[in-house]
Amino acid sequence: MPEILAKYATDVGAISIVLFLGVLRSLSQHAHFRRELRGAQVYLVLFLGTLVLRRFVPGDWQLAKTLIATASTIFFAFGAIRAAASIGFHIYRLHRHVEIPRILRDIADGTLFFIAVMIILSERTEIKLGSLLGASAVISVVLGLAL
């Protein structure tokens, strides 16, 4: 997994995606879609900021480098997820002429964000997924009952 992210989560790739999303935002007539794409751009700009920050961290600060690299990967994943979900929901909206309820979009985004964070943390750190998934199961039951 880290090799795949290292290959695709680069500054050139992120800049390209940010520019592509900017073009989509400027061409779109839907304010909601433009707002969602702006959120994806913010995550990708944060990713670029962590890449710059990582270059200024001294070589012997290994913990700081690990934390910045983990945050960088999470920002890239969030930006990619937010962009893909926004574009997918927008295509569905245009094709079916039906607006997807905001709560369903938020649940889909939250689930994908959670899965991405779990995968990234398990790859980058020594966190055991079993205990985190057990805690998330309890949270899911509470949210399910609340909904």
Would you state the pLDDT for residue 100? 80
Instruction: Give per-residue pLDDT as tens, 17-53.
Output: 777 877 877 787 877 788 888 888 888 888 888 888 8
Per the structure block, which two tokens stand in for 57? 């961290």
Q: Is the pLDDT of residue 122 over 70?
A: yes
Mean of all residue pLDDT scores within the chain:
80
Q: What is the DSSP string of 23-86?
A: HHHHH---HHHHHHHHHHHHHHHHHHHHHHHHHHS-TT-HHHHHHHHHHHHHHHHHHHHHHHHH
- Identify the residue whose tokens are 């962009």: 83
Residue 124 confidence (pLDDT):
76
